[in-house]
Chains A and B, each alone.
Chain A
Amino acid sequence: MMNPCRSIFLMLMLMLLSVSVQAATYPVDDRGTNVHQPIVRTKWLSNVPTRHANSAITGVVVVDVQLDTSDWKGKPGKIYMLLAPASASGPIQASWTTQSEVLLPGNLESGQRVLVYDGAIESDQLRDTLTMTLRADGNRVLRPEIINFTFEIDIP
């Protein structure tokens, strides 16, 4: 009869093994990312606050994205950028273009994720520069608002 402790050990090993080959979503290390002037001064979309005018504020920020993809090198994957859920200041919209076209241009809103890379992971790092326009409701953003972006990868 097998030692019970050894049985548990084997079961856990099997679970870990099965996890590593199953489709799964993993956070992507973006610690190499650099935000140029991370405090973004906004301006009103409409010069004056008429009843009919849009109360949106906008600002532009440039982000040098660097993603560590070494764990998935040689595998196909889909990388998504996520914007944290909305705070009391209301939803934030972000839209961006990319300089190197390594990542996809796009847009997303608070609480959403959007595809920025789809294909084989061929290098240890993915790099691109995003020129990002942020938009929020100026009547709800009453003080500086921190917006967090994250990346995650789906491995099939």
Chain B
Amino acid sequence: MFKFRKSCRLILLMAAVPVAPAYSYAVTITAGPRAIYLQVGNGTFTGTFNGGGTPGTNTTVNLVTVTVPAAQVGNGTAQTMTTNSTTTASFLDNFTFCTVPAQVYIGGYFRLPGTTGTATLTVNTPATLTTTGSTIPFTKISWVSSGIGDTGVQAIPTGTFSGGTQTLTTFPVNTWRESCHAFSYLNDQVVGSGTYTGRATYTLSAP
């Protein structure tokens, strides 16, 4: 009886031997990097978006101006503004989309890993355009949105500056959005002579 027990213990030990260990080495890959591109006026892009091009950096701050003839100051006739932006072609596909000097090109995209999410396009303006001793409310400047060949609703719609931060539109993920904005000054108040300036800053922000 003693021998039987001893042998069975040995059997149990032998039966437990052939257990294969597991080995592996591991690598961790990160998600694809996020990217965002916004162009207001002149921009830089190598190639086109549809052609898989590469966005660049352009620090130009374009101007939109109008000189109101003295005889028309404050007469309520809106004054068309012009720009020094030279951008007519879209970096989406190199199509001639805007006209200059009447329109300012605004477009861009954002990219996230995944297929959901939106980016928000806002513009910030001060309350007024200023010159020495006098101001004009920024709310006196509006824009009409269009694009050559476009027939539907504009991606970045027509509007008026609010004199603060305002949301213009949202961009769906991984999609190019663009419009051409033609600005005008309302010209419905008499103001003193001078050069009134103010800066509108456009921001495209993504989560």
Residues of A with Cβ closer than 8 Å to B?
A: 3, 5-6, 8-9, 12-13, 16, 19, 26-31, 33, 35, 38-44, 46-50, 52-53, 57, 59, 61, 63, 84, 92, 132, 134, 136, 138-151
Q: Which 3 residue pairs spanning A and B have beta carbons closest together?
A: A49-B174, A138-B32, A57-B32
Taking CB atoms, residues of chain B closer than 8 Å to A19 are 18
The closest CB in chain A to the CB of B3 belongs to A3
Is the beta-carbon distance between A5 and B4 smaller than 8 angstroms?
yes
C-alpha gap A136/B18 in the complex (Å): 37
Is the beta-carbon distance between A41 and B30 smaller than 8 angstroms?
yes
CB of B8, distance to nearest CB on chain A (Å)? 5
Interface size of B as a range: 35 or more
- Using an 8 Å CB-CB cutoff, how does the interface string of B69-101 with A read, 1 for contact, 0 for none? 000000000000000000000000000000000
Is the beta-carbon distance between A134 and B32 smaller than 8 angstroms?
no
C-alpha gap A27/B50 in the complex (Å): 47
Is the beta-carbon distance between A44 and B115 smaller than 8 angstroms?
no
C-alpha gap A48/B4 in the complex (Å): 75
- Using an 8 Å CB-CB cutoff, how does the interface string of B161-175 with A read, 1 for contact, 0 for none? 000000000000111
8 Å CB contact of A12 from B11, B26, B49, B113: B11
The closest CB in chain A to the CB of B47 belongs to A47
Taking CB atoms, residues of chain B closer than 8 Å to A143 are 31
Q: Which of B51-59, B120-128, B133-141, B188-196 contacts A (4 or more CB under 8 A)?
A: B51-59
The closest CB in chain A to the CB of B7 belongs to A5
8 Å CB contact of B27 from A28, A30, A38, A46: A38
C-alpha gap A21/B174 in the complex (Å): 58
Is the beta-carbon distance between A148 and B111 smaller than 8 angstroms?
no
C-alpha gap A72/B173 in the complex (Å): 54
Is the beta-carbon distance between A144 and B30 smaller than 8 angstroms?
yes
Taking CB atoms, residues of chain A closer than 8 Å to B7 are 3, 5-6, 9
Taking CB atoms, residues of chain B closer than 8 Å to A151 are 23
Is the beta-carbon distance between A150 and B22 smaller than 8 angstroms?
yes
